[in-house]
Chain A
């Protein structure tokens, strides 16, 4: 031990001595050769963002997160809001291709509509990052949730809660035209195939609409008061499902699993007050950070658009009573925007 000490002291003394002896060398910094090209690669570049619509937690969160990460490097943002109109979205993407931004961040409304356009964009040298909803064309990067996994894990939660109970469950789907809803349903089916004892008494689409979800759930609960679980496809819609369960006096008896972006008011607080039992969150700020990271990498690497293709599926956060209080489980849009 003593010798180690002595050695350490000795080396500190030697360091100090050399610092005094060679002041010129110490004052000169060392240039890191890669940061300048990195800054140059980002400065003045344009990132175009086309969500399916603004004004909801996911798309607002992604936008705020991207801006926070990239604007300090001089990246400019262009935003095109098709407001749930697929046609307007396709037009926006088409006109963006001629404007030649460096990167396009695309949130597909379905699998087909943008596919050809995105391929054209990459041929023109624009990096395309698809988020949360992929298209049939595989572009430089996909960042987003794995809907099949979401469906599977929600259903596993419900199946587990149903053990020793009636084994009757209901499914509240989103909109039939939305691929996210269809993928989630596939995940549900995957798990149900392994559990033949589970009986699906109702599987209806509520069109992402809380009022419709409530109406369906009320009717289903009246028909099957012994229902043990519900798989809902989006927490924004399942507020209605939860309201129906609460009115029927079945809170705690019917296990409600849902999914969403993990915004505090829409997720954690509703888990805390017992509305939801499980909310699979795809944590929007993390997704935004991953998107930003991918953009930084692509721009600084200088690879040809479309020559590399990869995916970053989001690691899901299952929000339950245990972690709903944690600061890390959920996020606030207002904080992200600061």
Chain B
């Protein structure tokens, strides 16, 4: 029996190419260098979050607390500076908070063996609640004078390229090196591919799982700082938005199977580009918000179904880590 093997990644890339071509031909002003940069800039934060999610999903997990890790530490920085603390001290506090979130997630999943879906759902709610109840005066934390200069993390440009794109590129390189060049990265793939086999071969799977979630939280915190810098404030209520679905959309669409062990940075970039092209094209076309959600939902559905068809679950992969 002959089967044409097309990976999800290739399908999505084909969809992206088709969309891109259609928009370029039919949409005035789409294919300008300026608009391309805007397109990328608009999805840079989403892409950074996609990288964080990718690390976790490759290791056969999922991190729903990612948006809380984006909103709360970055909000804390703005709030602390507003209250008169110095910027470095505030950044340190935010970093520690992000690490704590990752450690708790990792401990719950690796040692207490709580399914990642529930563990991260709970920690996400907890951290967002902590922010609202104890850390922030208002949901939108405003920029203050003490933050002067820090907005360059998300605004302006470096060598003509908007800074947020540069930040996404840096994050891509770091995550790529981690996943492909270090032993830790290889362990993450091994655990995602088959956690039992990984454990039997002597891979320290529990600490590696903790590491995944700590990294995800730290990258989330970085994304939050870029976001805050780019809009000059931290809307911490973003936790209640549908951003987490967009992040999962990027990862799944890019071809990182939810059953773990597959995919990498390239997949995140492809997924991000597709979302970016869709959003940008729909904005230029002035499609109403409800229509945009409909189209996004439809694309996610198609991607998930394709994923199931191309990477069918067998007894071996369906036992653990399923969500």
Q: Do they bind each other?
A: yes
Q: A176: shortest Cβ distance to chain B, in Å?
A: 5
**A209: which of B34, B155, B238, B290 is its contact (CB, 8 Å)?**
B238
Partner of B280, one of A55, A202, A219: A219
Query: Count of A residues near B, CB < 8 Å?
Result: 38
Task: Tell which of A57, A204, A209, A216 touches B235, judged by Cβ atoms closer than 8 Å.
Answer: A209
B35 touches A223 (CB 8 A): yes
Contacts of B140 in A (CB 8 A): 56-57, 210, 236, 239, 266
CB distance A211 to B35 under 8 Å? Answer: no
CB <8 Å contact, B38 and A333: no
Contact across chains for B284 and A333 when beta carbons are under 8 A apart: no
Known: A210-B235, A211-B227, A266-B140. A222 touches B29 (CB 8 A): yes
- For residue B34, which residues in chain A have a CB less than 8 angstroms away from its CB? 222
Q: Which of B11-19, B131-139, B176-184, B253-261 forms contacts with chain A?
A: B131-139
Chain B residues whose C-beta falls within 8 Å of the C-beta of A266 in the assembled complex: 140, 142
In the complex, A220 Cα to B288 Cα: how many Å?
14
Q: Does B230 make an interface contact (CB < 8 A)?
A: yes
A203 CB–B CB distance under 8 Å: yes
Are the C-beta atoms of B279 and A215 separated by less than 8 Å? yes
Report how many residues on chain B are interfacial, defined by Cβ distance under 8 Å.
39
Q: Is the Cβ of A214 less than 8 Å from the Cβ of B138?
A: no
**Of the candidates A84, A176, A207, A214, which one forms a contact with B231 in the assembled complex, judged by CB atoms under 8 Å apart?**
A214
Q: Contact at B45–A176, with CB atoms within 8 Å?
A: no
Give residues of chain A (214-244) contacting chain B, Cβ–Cβ below 8 Å. Answer: 214-216, 218-220, 222-223, 236-237, 239-240, 242-243
B-contact 0/1 string along A174-216, CB 8 Å cutoff: 0010000000000000000000000001111101111100111
A247 in the interface (beta carbon within 8 A): yes
Q: Does A160 interact with chain B (Cβ within 8 Å)?
A: no
B314 within 8 A of A: no
Q: Which residue of B lies closest to A81 (CB)?
A: B132
In the complex, what residue of chain A is closest to B132 when comparing beta carbons? A55
Q: Which residue of chain A lies nearest to B82 when distances are taken between CB atoms in the complex?
A: A265
Given A57-B138, A204-B286, decide whether A239 and B35 contact each other with a Cβ distance below 8 A.
no
**Is the C-beta of A69 less than 8 angstroms from some C-beta in chain B?**
no
Give chain B residues whose Cβ lies under 8 Å from the Cβ of A205.
Answer: 288-289
Query: Which residue of A has the minimal Cβ distance to B240?
Result: A84
* Given A84-B237, A84-B240, A173-B289; 4 other pairs, CB 8 A cutoff: A57-B140, A214-B231, A215-B279, A333-B138
25 contacts between A and B (CB under 8 A): A55-B136, A56-B139, A56-B140, A60-B137, A204-B286, A204-B289, A210-B231, A211-B45, A211-B230, A214-B230, A215-B42, A216-B283, A218-B42, A219-B39, A219-B280, A219-B284, A223-B29, A236-B235, A239-B140, A243-B155, A243-B230, A243-B231, A243-B232, A333-B137, A333-B138
